[in-house]
Amino acid sequence: MSDTTQFRVMDFDCPTCASTVERALSNVNGVQHVEVHYATGRVEIEYDDSVADPDVFAQTIENQGYTPQPA
């Protein structure tokens, strides 16, 4: 089953930061679609909940050097 979750990242410095997080999240197992927006800091992830572990998403964002907050 497909599900979606959102985060807000307030410490993006530039649009490339957003692209970097987008790429990293799209490589997470079970993620179907990711949209990360620099200007609003909004991260929207669509994933297959039988495969993906949503806890991994926040960790992935942190691993890229940014602080995810629940949206």
Partner 1 sequence: MNERSITQYYRKHRKAIVTATSGLLYGGGWSLGHLTSFDMASAVILVFATVVGGYDIAQTAYHEVSNRTLGIKTLVTLAAIGAIIIGEYWEAAAVVFLFSLGSYLEGRTMRKTRTALQELLEMTPDTATVRRDGELQEVPAREVEEGEVVVVKPGGKIPVDGTVIDGESAVNQAPVTGESAPVHKADGDGVYAGTVNQEGALEIRTTGAGSDTTLERIIRRVEEAQEAQSPTESLIDRFAKYYTPAVIALAIGAYAVTQNAILSLTLLVIGCPGALVIGPPVSIVSAIGNAARSGVLMKGGEHLERAGKIDLVAFDKTGTLTKGETTVADVEGFGIADDEVLSLAATTEKKSEHHLADAIVDAARERPTAATDGGATVANAVEADRNPRSIPDPDDFDVVAGKGVVARYDGHEIVVGNRALLDDRGIDIPSRVADYVREREERGETVVHVIRDGDVIGTIAMRDELREAAPDVVAALRDAGIKTMMLTGDNERTAAAVAEEVGIDEYRAELLPEDKQSVIEACQADGHVVAMVGDGINDAPSLATADVGIAMGAAGTDTAIETADMALMADDLERIPYAVTLSKATRWNVLENVGLAVLTVTVLLAGVLTSYITLASGMLVHEASVLAVILNGMRLLRY
Q: Does the protein bind partner 1 through residue 64 (CB under 8 A)?
A: yes
Instruction: Report d(CA 60, CA 42) in Å as an integer.
Output: 15
* Contact string 19-58 vs partner 1 (x = CB under 8 A): xx--xx--x-------x-xxxxxx----------------
Q: Does the protein bind partner 1 through residue 13 (CB under 8 A)?
A: yes
Give the residue, chosen from 2, 10, 53, 59, that forms a contact with partner 1 under the rule CB under 8 A. Answer: 10
Nearer to partner 1, 12 or 47 (CB): 12
Give the H/E segment covering residue 2.
strand 2-9
| Token pair belonging to 51 | 């495969």
Instruction: Report d(CA 66, CA 42) in Å as an integer.
Output: 12
